[in-house]
Structure 1
Amino acid sequence: MVTPAAHREAAAYLQTTYEMSQRRACRVIDTDRTSVRYQATRPDDGALRERLKALAQERRRFGYRRLHVLLKREGQIVNKKRIQRIYREERLTVRRRGGRKRAIGTRRPLELPLAPNQRWSLDFVSDQMTDGRRFRILTVIDNCTRECLALVADTSLSGGRVARELDAIIAQRGRPDTIVSDNGTEYTSNAILGWADDTGVGWHYIAPGKPQQNGYNESFNGRLRDELLNETLFRSLPHARAVLENWRRDYNEQRPHSKLGWMTPRDYARALSGESGDRAAQPGGSARTPLATHHHQGSNQPRTLVMAG
């Protein structure tokens, strides 16, 4: 017996079965009478419990930490441990879908981008509609702010289509320094090679069979599949595009990101731009020491495929 609840239960058993006094029962089990007489004064959490269950039903793949951030946004100042207790009592724990292999040994960490548009990453995700037709989704991520810049869904996405989508993003956001991708045929096509030469954007290809070198996009794809694709039945391609765009806006503007101090990607991007403006407005001011030095890698494929780690 190591918990106060177990001590109280044992003392009650001795008092009932052997007609002992409380003092003698506590002496027998070697515990303090104050802990046995203690009555819990836990406040009523009915309203909080119902709101937590509603949020967990709405955000089915969110854990208690992210749900705690959403409750704080609503003005409910609650201890995180209390949220964790209710979360477990209501059996809201998110079940992991399968397992994954873990890399053994040391790996070279990714260099941290220090400002928006220093590095974007691209990748493809596949899914299917209710009638069995398959479609692909092009995901474009800013590695610094973690913003999802585009979710392009279609039954076929060629290199030329990827270049046009990148042009549309650049027209709104500006040109990136570097783009990271795998060695898929869409990214190694003549259309992309010509686009990279014309725009001056450095294109970095990860080593074959090393998706961890594009870890920012791989992590995002996991969240996309877990929170949306595995939870939604797509009736048609227009329906998929509308749902993906709504989720993208929610991801950028509402969903708290654990790696950004539970800020949303949009708020984090605004905070970065505000810090940059403050440093520029202060004459002689010193910039904050970066966590990592950014090296512009440039294009590792001018016209010939060169696999780079």
Structure 2
Amino acid sequence: MSRSTKERAVDLLVEEGLSLNRSLDVVLLPKSSYYYQPKAIDEETMNEIRRLAFRWKREGYRRIYRRLRRSGRTINHKKVYRLYCLEGLKIRTKPKRKKRNASSQQLPLPKNSNEVWSMDFVFERTIDGRKQRILTGIDHLTRENTILQAEFTFSSEKLIRYLNTLERLPRAFVLTRGV
């Protein structure tokens, strides 16, 4: 519960006839916090922080704090951070670029169905906690689900046996191998 919410609760209890001290005890709000008046924002310091932030756009509040200290101001780093956030200033973060693997190549789109299928394993847990492996396959051109087989254990022999039972097979398989 925030301080302002607690203060409102104390005011309501006092209106109901409870003493101030008892209301503060019930709400667990110290008397000093109840009577505390926040200090006004120092506009001169705020303007200086704003000026430094626009002058050096790639510097955060810590560097601005150091520059203020070097210029002779006695200011706490927490106050600089509070004013920095209050002003809505922040360093613009560059979006991370996706790293391309040198060995990975973009496959050409197949011209006919059943040319290229992707296969992958999906893992699910049953109600009794056992791990179930589900082999899934999809045709690259038609996006048709071509393989769907669930087993608790999937050995390579079992996989080959299952693939041999299929009516049709592609010319090539693409395996993600957990990537």
Give the TM interval when normalised to the shorter protein.
Answer: 0.3 to 0.5
Instruction: Considering fraction of residues, name the structure with more helix.
Output: 1
Q: Give 1 or 2 for the bigger CA radius of gyration.
A: 2
Instruction: Considering fraction of residues, name the structure with more strand.
Output: 2
- Structure with the larger RCO, 1 or 2 (CA within 8 Å, 6+ apart): 1
TM-score of the superposition, structure 1-length normalised?
0.29
